[in-house]
Amino acid sequence: MSGILLVMEKSVKLEDIVSLAKRRGFIYQGSNVYGGLSGTWDYGPLGVSLKRNIMNLWWRMFVDERADMYGVDAAILMNQKVWQASGHVDTFTDPLVECSHCKGRFREDKLDDPNKCPACGKEGTFGEARAFNMMFRTFVGPSGQNDLTIGEPMEGADDKHNLQGMKAMTYDPNAISYLRPETAQGIFTNYKNVVDNFYPDLPFGIAQQGKAFRNEISPRDFVFRSREFEQMEIEYFVHPDKWEESFEHWVTKCKEWFEALGLPAESVHELEVPEDDRAHYSKRTIDFEFDYPIGREELMGLAYRTDFDLANIQRASKKSMEYQVKGTNEKFVPHVIEPSFGVERALMAVLVSAYREDEQNGEKRIYLALPEHLAPVKYAVSPLLKNKPELVDKAREVYAKLSKENPGRVMWDDNGNIGKRYRRQDEIGTPHCVVIDFQTLEDDSVTIRNRDTTEQQRTSIDNI
């Protein structure tokens, strides 16, 4: 008999999640073969499925199932004027301090002790913090890469870049662009296109998913703070007098989203962000925080951005961003409620919520109790013995049938003995393991094992 020993979510360690993610092909350090690139992560076969399942669920809930939502997919590289008008060129900064002893650079507001260097341990070696802009800058076209971007290598650095000759090149400041630090601006710049093409009634939203890039001073805690990550954002355009009711609407929708991800309600917390801590564009922000193994941290944000962005675009582009209410002369620049979701933080919360350990027949078992709609693999199909061609042939038939009904979500697994296969599938969160045995050959029935209870049921192939 199996003794069940549940590991509560709060005691899950970050190392457990990182180790499982690597061991089972979810997430690897980016550029691992060359020693890695800090703040970047690569998704393996199961990670990419889990991530897509999360992103597709979001798109279905917030775009496909709503009549008031329009999807866009804007370019990552945008005209530099976007980032000037949005305030990012001037204010998207973190405070950076440098240790005069070891030259280590740190984000001042994340230091445990602001007087002590966490790298060399010296005290009083930090000078004044400087504002470090987190946008990755680049040049569009063959007009850049000069001393502005390169400068001299740091003292003692081994410079392998072979940049001789480049330093003398001139550059065109108009060619400067940035990798977008948020997907939101790609939505605002398409607001007018959507209004002109689709004439939506207010309130309506524009949604986008995609990569965002931030040159974080201290990327850390696995995918939690990365330099390249994905966002799922909505800009919801409302009448200026009605922002409060739309804000409440989105509080409710965010909670429905957390439930759909399988996050325990008691692990998600609402933080009303005080004025001093809010982003420059926000008049009200709620951060939804989650109890990660690293502590209670931001999962996503919900902000009232007023008409900050559209008014800036109107000023900078000299094009009207006004909305005219149908059948009236009433015109105004709409205000905006912005639910901003981070994919990596959602994925990490899903893994933490699903991680379990128990004991089966005296042995420790690790499994992911993922909601079935998020699990990368829904069915694993195995012949009981892989050296019996009649079992393998029948199992292939079942595999083909299930794959047709659940494209991309069925795994063929004949490695090792059946116990090992179950362990492997448990660790990747497969809810159902289907085994083809000798009885299958007689009556077309198979066993299906439940991941969470480990109980097996016999059922006919047609009833799976």
220-223: long-range pairs with CB below 8 Å, 24+: 221/14, 221/292, 221/294, 222/14, 222/17, 222/18, 222/21, 222/27, 222/41, 222/348, 223/27, 223/41, 223/344, 223/345, 223/347, 223/348
Tell me the HSE value of 246 on the side-chain side, using a 13 A CA sphere.
27
- The C-alpha atoms of residue 342 and residue 38 are separated, in whole angstroms, by 19
Query: Residue 53 or 209: which CB sits closer to ligand GAP?
Result: 209
Interface with ligand GAP in residues 215-244 (CB under 6 A): 216, 225-226, 229, 231, 233
* Residue span 39-78 as binding mask against ligand GAP, x where in contact by CB under 6 A, dash where not: ----------------------------------------
Query: Residue 187 or 436: which CB sits closer to ligand GAP?
Result: 187
Report which residue's Cβ sits closest to ligand GAP.
Answer: 342
Q: Which of 74, 82, 184, 194 binds ligand GAP (CB under 6 A)?
A: 184
Q: Which of 210, 301, 334, 371 binds ligand GAP (CB under 6 A)?
A: 301
Strands of 335-342's sheet in order across? 69-71, 204-213, 228-238, 335-342, 295-306, 284-292, 268-272
Task: Work out how close the CB of 79 gets to ligand GAP at its nearest, in angstroms, rounded to a whole number.
Answer: 18
Contacts with 327 (C-beta within 8 Å, 6 or more apart), sequence order: none
Site size for ligand GAP, by CB under 6 A?
16
Measured distance between the N- and C-terminal CA atoms of the chain, rounded to whole angstroms: 26
- The C-alpha atoms of residue 107 and residue 224 are separated, in whole angstroms, by 16
What the block records as the tokens of 57 is: 């669920």
Query: Residue 31 or 457: which CB sits closer to ligand GAP?
Result: 31
Query: Residue 184 or 238: which CB sits closer to ligand GAP?
Result: 184
- Burial of 82 from C-beta contacts in 10 A (0-12 / 13-18 / 19+): buried
- The C-alpha atoms of residue 297 and residue 290 are separated, in whole angstroms, by 6
Interface with ligand GAP in residues 320-379 (CB under 6 A): 340, 342, 344-345
Q: Which of 108, 221, 297, 298 binds ligand GAP (CB under 6 A)?
A: 298
Query: Residue 192 or 214: which CB sits closer to ligand GAP?
Result: 214
Task: Work out how close the CB of 309 gets to ligand GAP at its nearest, in angstroms, rounded to a whole number.
Answer: 10
Task: Work out how close the CB of 217 gets to ligand GAP at its nearest, in angstroms, rounded to a whole number.
Answer: 10
Task: Work out how close the CB of 303 gets to ligand GAP at its nearest, in angstroms, rounded to a whole number.
Answer: 7
Query: Residue 235 or 427: which CB sits closer to ligand GAP?
Result: 235
Q: 194: helix, coil or strand? A: helix
If binding is defined by CB under 6 A, does position 309 make contact with ligand GAP? no
Task: Work out how close the CB of 216 gets to ligand GAP at its nearest, in angstroms, rounded to a whole number.
Answer: 5
**How big is the CA angle at 357 (ends 4 and 265), to the nearest 5 degrees?**
95
Task: Work out how close the CB of 194 gets to ligand GAP at its nearest, in angstroms, rounded to a whole number.
Answer: 18
- Burial of 198 from C-beta contacts in 10 A (0-12 / 13-18 / 19+): exposed
If binding is defined by CB under 6 A, does position 214 make contact with ligand GAP? yes
What crossing angle do the helices spanning 343-354 and 45-59 adopt, rounded to 10°? 110
Query: Residue 147 or 298: which CB sits closer to ligand GAP?
Result: 298
Question: Which residues here bind ligand GAP, judged by CB under 6 A?
Answer: 182, 184, 214, 216, 225-226, 229, 231, 233, 298, 300-301, 340, 342, 344-345
